[in-house]
Structure 1
Amino acid sequence: MSNPTPVQDFIRRWQASGAAERANFPQFAVQLCDILNVPHPDPTTPYDDRNAYVFERSVPLPHGSTGRIDLYKRGCFVLEAKQGSAARVTELLETLASLGQARLVEGERFVAQ
């Protein structure tokens, strides 16, 4: 039996997680960055104009309060984590498959490549 790949380890580790979005998301995102070989988010500063790639970026809301974006990268993406649905795990695995990092086997399960 061969050693598992980093993608296989990542899928195995996170497939069973659930119901703890705030606790799990930063670690999940950092490990996903490692899998994709992209930089980790930066530490947040007190100055929003300098927070170009951070967790929990503050944003003003129309009614005057402040909201938070789970992961923000200026000019690239806004990511709001939602956890607890098997459908969402499937979506992630389908995304990994589209990137050539996993494949569907026998129409029902994903295998990391």
Structure 2
Amino acid sequence: MTEAGPLQVLRMAFDKNTDWDKDEFLDSVYWIRQIVAVVFGILWGVIKFKGLLGILVYIIINLGIIFLYYTSYHEVDEEEYGGHGELAKEGLLTSFSLFLVFWIILYTLYMQPLVSLST
């Protein structure tokens, strides 16, 4: 089977009738996680969420969304894909890094006054 690109994987991810192979399903989990990271990074930065609580809430939401995605939406047998642990860690650190980048940049932009360029 040929390797699917990110957009094709995302299209497949939201089609309940998709017939998955292991790599494609793990790719869909990875890319959904990246979207969640960007959305919540932007949201946390704009609402000026800060601290360890922001990180913990993001991780819980991220894990919860993925858990609901594979148990309720696709109703897959997680053992076919390496179990809950494998699905929970698929792309987690990458998405956490992406979340932090968006959160920090937007938080900084909203918290810091614009620098005056006049001399």
Decide: shared fold, TM above 0.5: no
Greater fraction of residues in helix:
2
Q: Whose strand proportion is higher, 1 or 2?
A: 1
Q: RCO higher in 1 or 2 (8 Å CA, sep ≥ 6)?
A: 2
| TM-score (norm: length of structure 2) | 0.27
Q: Answer with 1 or 2: which has the greater Rg.
A: 2
TM-score normalised according to structure 1 size: 0.28
